[in-house]
Structure 1
Amino acid sequence: MTGSIEQGTSQTHGNTHILHFLVKFPHPMEGVWPALSTPEGLGAWWTAVDVLEPRLGGTVALRGLGAGQVTAWDVDRIAEYTLDDGARVRFHPEPDGGHGSALRFSHEFRGEGDSEQDWRDRFERLIGRLG
Protein backbone atom coordinates (compact mmCIF):
# COMPACT_ATOMS: atom_id res chain seq x y z
CA MET A 1 0.00 0.00 0.00
CA THR A 2 1.26 3.48 -0.84
CA GLY A 3 0.32 6.82 0.63
CA SER A 4 -2.33 9.11 -0.76
CA ILE A 5 -3.33 12.74 -0.81
CA GLU A 6 -6.84 12.52 0.58
CA GLN A 7 -7.83 16.14 0.62
CA GLY A 8 -6.53 19.53 -0.44
CA THR A 9 -8.23 22.89 0.01
CA SER A 10 -7.29 26.48 -0.60
CA GLN A 11 -8.79 29.52 1.10
CA THR A 12 -8.18 33.21 0.60
CA HIS A 13 -9.00 35.87 3.17
CA GLY A 14 -8.04 39.26 1.79
CA ASN A 15 -4.34 38.99 0.99
CA THR A 16 -3.83 35.87 3.16
CA HIS A 17 -3.90 32.42 1.55
CA ILE A 18 -4.23 29.16 3.48
CA LEU A 19 -3.64 25.72 1.99
CA HIS A 20 -4.70 22.58 3.86
CA PHE A 21 -3.91 18.98 3.02
CA LEU A 22 -4.56 15.58 4.52
CA VAL A 23 -1.96 13.04 3.41
CA LYS A 24 -2.14 9.39 4.46
CA PHE A 25 0.80 7.03 4.82
CA PRO A 26 0.99 3.29 5.45
CA HIS A 27 3.75 4.04 7.98
CA PRO A 28 3.53 4.94 11.68
CA MET A 29 4.08 8.54 12.70
CA GLU A 30 7.61 7.71 13.85
CA GLY A 31 8.44 6.72 10.27
CA VAL A 32 7.06 9.97 8.82
CA TRP A 33 8.39 12.39 11.46
CA PRO A 34 12.03 12.58 10.25
CA ALA A 35 10.83 13.68 6.78
CA LEU A 36 9.11 16.67 8.43
CA SER A 37 11.57 17.58 11.13
CA THR A 38 15.15 17.09 9.94
CA PRO A 39 17.26 18.93 7.36
CA GLU A 40 17.87 15.66 5.49
CA GLY A 41 14.20 14.71 5.54
CA LEU A 42 12.86 18.07 4.39
CA GLY A 43 15.61 18.42 1.80
CA ALA A 44 14.69 15.10 0.22
CA TRP A 45 11.19 16.18 -0.82
CA TRP A 46 10.63 19.90 -0.19
CA THR A 47 13.56 22.30 0.11
CA ALA A 48 17.12 22.39 1.36
CA VAL A 49 17.49 23.38 4.99
CA ASP A 50 20.47 25.52 5.99
CA VAL A 51 19.60 25.70 9.70
CA LEU A 52 17.08 23.83 11.83
CA GLU A 53 17.19 23.95 15.62
CA PRO A 54 14.62 21.28 16.55
CA ARG A 55 12.93 22.99 19.48
CA LEU A 56 10.30 25.62 20.18
CA GLY A 57 11.87 29.00 19.44
CA GLY A 58 14.71 27.46 17.44
CA THR A 59 16.03 29.03 14.27
CA VAL A 60 15.05 27.69 10.85
CA ALA A 61 16.48 28.74 7.48
CA LEU A 62 14.92 27.21 4.37
CA ARG A 63 16.97 27.74 1.23
CA GLY A 64 15.21 29.97 -1.25
CA LEU A 65 12.34 30.64 1.17
CA GLY A 66 13.93 32.54 4.03
CA ALA A 67 14.67 32.30 7.69
CA GLY A 68 12.49 32.36 10.75
CA GLN A 69 11.76 30.31 13.80
CA VAL A 70 10.22 27.07 14.99
CA THR A 71 6.86 28.23 16.37
CA ALA A 72 5.51 24.81 17.42
CA TRP A 73 7.45 21.67 18.27
CA ASP A 74 6.26 18.44 19.86
CA VAL A 75 8.34 15.43 18.83
CA ASP A 76 6.40 13.05 16.56
CA ARG A 77 3.35 15.36 16.79
CA ILE A 78 3.81 18.91 15.47
CA ALA A 79 6.46 20.87 13.61
CA GLU A 80 5.64 24.43 12.62
CA TYR A 81 8.00 26.83 10.91
CA THR A 82 7.21 30.55 10.65
CA LEU A 83 9.38 32.62 8.35
CA ASP A 84 10.28 36.28 8.76
CA ASP A 85 7.87 37.24 5.95
CA GLY A 86 4.98 35.79 8.01
CA ALA A 87 4.58 32.58 6.00
CA ARG A 88 3.77 29.61 8.24
CA VAL A 89 4.07 25.90 7.46
CA ARG A 90 2.62 23.37 9.92
CA PHE A 91 3.04 19.58 9.86
CA HIS A 92 0.83 17.60 12.23
CA PRO A 93 1.14 13.80 11.88
CA GLU A 94 -1.30 11.61 13.80
CA PRO A 95 -2.18 7.91 14.02
CA ASP A 96 -4.53 6.63 11.32
CA GLY A 97 -5.84 3.14 11.81
CA GLY A 98 -3.64 0.15 12.60
CA HIS A 99 -0.10 1.01 11.58
CA GLY A 100 -0.64 4.02 9.34
CA SER A 101 -0.53 7.75 9.91
CA ALA A 102 -2.15 10.86 8.53
CA LEU A 103 -0.45 14.20 8.03
CA ARG A 104 -2.53 17.31 8.55
CA PHE A 105 -0.71 20.11 6.78
CA SER A 106 -1.31 23.84 6.47
CA HIS A 107 0.57 26.63 4.73
CA GLU A 108 -0.41 30.21 5.39
CA PHE A 109 1.12 33.07 3.44
CA ARG A 110 0.43 36.57 2.15
CA GLY A 111 0.64 37.65 -1.48
CA GLU A 112 2.12 35.25 -3.99
CA GLY A 113 3.23 31.83 -2.85
CA ASP A 114 3.12 28.12 -3.54
CA SER A 115 0.01 26.83 -5.22
CA GLU A 116 -2.09 23.87 -4.21
CA GLN A 117 -0.56 21.97 -7.14
CA ASP A 118 2.98 22.78 -5.95
CA TRP A 119 2.20 21.13 -2.62
CA ARG A 120 0.47 18.18 -4.27
CA ASP A 121 3.63 17.58 -6.29
CA ARG A 122 5.77 17.79 -3.15
CA PHE A 123 3.54 15.37 -1.25
CA GLU A 124 3.76 12.95 -4.17
CA ARG A 125 7.56 13.14 -3.82
CA LEU A 126 7.27 12.57 -0.07
CA ILE A 127 5.02 9.55 -0.60
CA GLY A 128 7.52 8.18 -3.11
CA ARG A 129 10.46 8.75 -0.72
CA LEU A 130 8.73 6.95 2.14
CA GLY A 131 7.76 4.06 -0.12
Structure 2
Amino acid sequence: MTGSVEQGISVTHGNEHTLHFTVRLPVPVSRVWPALAGAEGLAGWFTEAEVLEPRLDGAVTLRGLGSGRVTAWDVERVAEYTVEGGGRIRFHLERDGDTGTCLRFRHEFREKAGTGTEPAWRDRLERLVEILDGN
Protein backbone atom coordinates (compact mmCIF):
# COMPACT_ATOMS: atom_id res chain seq x y z
CA MET A 1 0.00 0.00 0.00
CA THR A 2 1.24 3.47 -0.78
CA GLY A 3 0.27 6.69 0.93
CA SER A 4 -2.21 9.18 -0.47
CA VAL A 5 -3.42 12.73 -0.02
CA GLU A 6 -7.20 12.79 -0.28
CA GLN A 7 -9.20 15.64 -1.76
CA GLY A 8 -8.70 18.83 0.24
CA ILE A 9 -11.56 20.90 1.61
CA SER A 10 -11.34 24.67 1.72
CA VAL A 11 -13.81 26.79 3.71
CA THR A 12 -13.85 30.61 3.66
CA HIS A 13 -15.80 33.00 5.88
CA GLY A 14 -14.91 36.60 5.03
CA ASN A 15 -11.12 36.73 5.21
CA GLU A 16 -10.87 33.60 7.43
CA HIS A 17 -9.79 30.47 5.57
CA THR A 18 -9.56 26.87 6.71
CA LEU A 19 -7.98 24.04 4.75
CA HIS A 20 -8.50 20.37 5.61
CA PHE A 21 -6.64 17.40 4.17
CA THR A 22 -6.72 13.74 5.10
CA VAL A 23 -3.48 11.89 4.39
CA ARG A 24 -3.24 8.10 4.56
CA LEU A 25 0.20 6.68 5.25
CA PRO A 26 1.19 2.99 5.21
CA VAL A 27 3.52 3.42 8.18
CA PRO A 28 2.90 3.48 11.95
CA VAL A 29 2.30 6.66 13.92
CA SER A 30 5.75 6.33 15.49
CA ARG A 31 7.29 6.91 12.04
CA VAL A 32 5.02 9.83 11.12
CA TRP A 33 5.30 11.78 14.39
CA PRO A 34 8.97 12.87 13.98
CA ALA A 35 8.16 14.35 10.55
CA LEU A 36 5.51 16.63 12.11
CA ALA A 37 6.90 17.33 15.56
CA GLY A 38 10.64 17.67 15.07
CA ALA A 39 12.75 20.38 13.46
CA GLU A 40 14.63 17.91 11.24
CA GLY A 41 11.41 16.18 10.18
CA LEU A 42 9.60 19.41 9.29
CA ALA A 43 12.60 20.63 7.29
CA GLY A 44 12.49 17.48 5.17
CA TRP A 45 9.09 18.19 3.62
CA PHE A 46 7.69 21.51 4.84
CA THR A 47 9.96 24.26 6.13
CA GLU A 48 12.81 24.83 8.52
CA ALA A 49 11.82 25.12 12.16
CA GLU A 50 14.37 27.67 13.35
CA VAL A 51 12.99 27.25 16.88
CA LEU A 52 10.84 24.37 18.10
CA GLU A 53 10.30 23.65 21.77
CA PRO A 54 8.38 20.35 21.67
CA ARG A 55 5.85 20.97 24.42
CA LEU A 56 2.60 22.82 25.03
CA ASP A 57 3.23 26.59 24.93
CA GLY A 58 6.76 26.05 23.63
CA ALA A 59 8.23 28.60 21.25
CA VAL A 60 8.16 27.91 17.52
CA THR A 61 9.55 29.80 14.53
CA LEU A 62 8.77 28.40 11.10
CA ARG A 63 10.76 29.87 8.21
CA GLY A 64 8.49 31.81 5.90
CA LEU A 65 5.57 31.79 8.35
CA GLY A 66 6.81 33.51 11.48
CA SER A 67 7.13 32.97 15.21
CA GLY A 68 4.55 31.82 17.69
CA ARG A 69 3.67 29.08 20.16
CA VAL A 70 2.94 25.38 20.27
CA THR A 71 -0.79 25.56 21.00
CA ALA A 72 -1.52 21.82 21.24
CA TRP A 73 0.86 18.95 22.01
CA ASP A 74 -0.06 15.32 22.64
CA VAL A 75 2.92 13.08 21.81
CA GLU A 76 2.28 10.84 18.80
CA ARG A 77 -1.18 12.30 18.45
CA VAL A 78 -1.45 16.11 18.03
CA ALA A 79 1.02 18.86 17.15
CA GLU A 80 -0.36 22.34 16.58
CA TYR A 81 1.60 25.50 15.84
CA THR A 82 0.11 29.00 15.86
CA VAL A 83 2.38 31.58 14.25
CA GLU A 84 1.89 35.24 13.41
CA GLY A 85 1.48 35.60 9.68
CA GLY A 86 0.98 31.86 9.22
CA GLY A 87 -2.12 31.15 11.26
CA ARG A 88 -2.73 27.84 13.01
CA ILE A 89 -1.36 24.58 11.61
CA ARG A 90 -2.65 21.36 13.19
CA PHE A 91 -1.53 17.76 12.63
CA HIS A 92 -3.75 15.09 14.20
CA LEU A 93 -2.62 11.46 13.92
CA GLU A 94 -4.80 8.37 14.23
CA ARG A 95 -4.12 4.69 13.66
CA ASP A 96 -5.34 3.47 10.28
CA GLY A 97 -5.75 -0.29 10.27
CA ASP A 98 -3.08 -2.54 11.75
CA THR A 99 0.02 -0.67 10.56
CA GLY A 100 -1.04 2.58 8.92
CA THR A 101 -1.61 6.17 10.01
CA CYS A 102 -4.30 8.68 9.13
CA LEU A 103 -3.11 12.29 9.32
CA ARG A 104 -5.86 14.88 9.61
CA PHE A 105 -4.35 18.22 8.64
CA ARG A 106 -5.92 21.63 9.25
CA HIS A 107 -4.61 25.11 8.44
CA GLU A 108 -6.54 28.17 9.63
CA PHE A 109 -5.35 31.53 8.36
CA ARG A 110 -6.33 35.04 7.30
CA GLU A 111 -5.31 35.97 3.82
CA LYS A 112 -6.65 37.27 0.56
CA ALA A 113 -8.37 34.67 -1.58
CA GLY A 114 -6.49 33.24 -4.55
CA THR A 115 -3.07 32.95 -2.93
CA GLY A 116 -2.57 29.32 -3.92
CA THR A 117 -2.29 27.97 -0.39
CA GLU A 118 -4.34 24.83 -1.10
CA PRO A 119 -2.10 23.64 -3.97
CA ALA A 120 1.01 24.51 -1.95
CA TRP A 121 -0.17 22.38 0.98
CA ARG A 122 -1.14 19.53 -1.35
CA ASP A 123 2.41 19.58 -2.79
CA ARG A 124 3.95 19.60 0.69
CA LEU A 125 1.77 16.76 1.93
CA GLU A 126 2.52 14.71 -1.19
CA ARG A 127 6.23 15.26 -0.48
CA LEU A 128 5.64 13.99 3.07
CA VAL A 129 3.97 10.86 1.64
CA GLU A 130 6.92 10.29 -0.72
CA ILE A 131 9.45 10.64 2.10
CA LEU A 132 7.60 8.26 4.42
CA ASP A 133 6.83 5.75 1.63
CA GLY A 134 10.52 5.71 0.69
CA ASN A 135 11.87 4.95 4.18
Contact 1:7/1:23 (<8 A) preserved: no
The percent identity for this pair of structures is: 60
* Count of residues in Structure 1 that have an aligned counterpart in Structure 2: 131
* Contact 1:10 1:19 survives alignment (8 Å): yes
Contact 2:2 2:25 (C-alpha < 8 Å) held by counterparts: yes
Contact 2:65 2:86 in 1 (8 A): no
Question: For residues 16-37 of structure 1, what are the alpha-carbon distances to aligned partners after superposition, in whole Å with 9 as ceiling and x for unaligned?
Answer: 0000000000011111000000
Cα RMSD after superposing both structures: 1.2
With structure 2 as the length reference, what TM-score do the two structures score?
A: 0.93
Question: Which 4+ runs in 1 deviate beyond 6 A?
Answer: none
Shift of 1:111: 1.3
Look up the match of 2:128. Answer: 126
Whole-angstrom CA distance in 2 between matches of 1:38 and 1:114: 26
In structure 2, distance between residues paired with 1:86 and 1:71: 13
**Alpha-carbon distance in 2 for matches of 1:65, 1:57:** 18
The match for 1:12 is 12
The DSSP-based 3-state class of the residue aligned with 1:89 is strand
Cα distance in 2 between the residues matched to 1:95 and 1:123? 18
Structure 1: gaps of 5 or more residues: none
Q: Aligned partner of 1:8: which letter?
A: G
The normalised TM-score by structure 1 is 0.96
| 1:43 is the counterpart of 2:33 | no
Unaligned runs of 5+ in 2: none
In structure 2, the CA distance between the partners of 1:86 and 1:118, relative to structure 1 (3 Å rule), is: closer
TM-fit CA distance, 1:116:
1.2
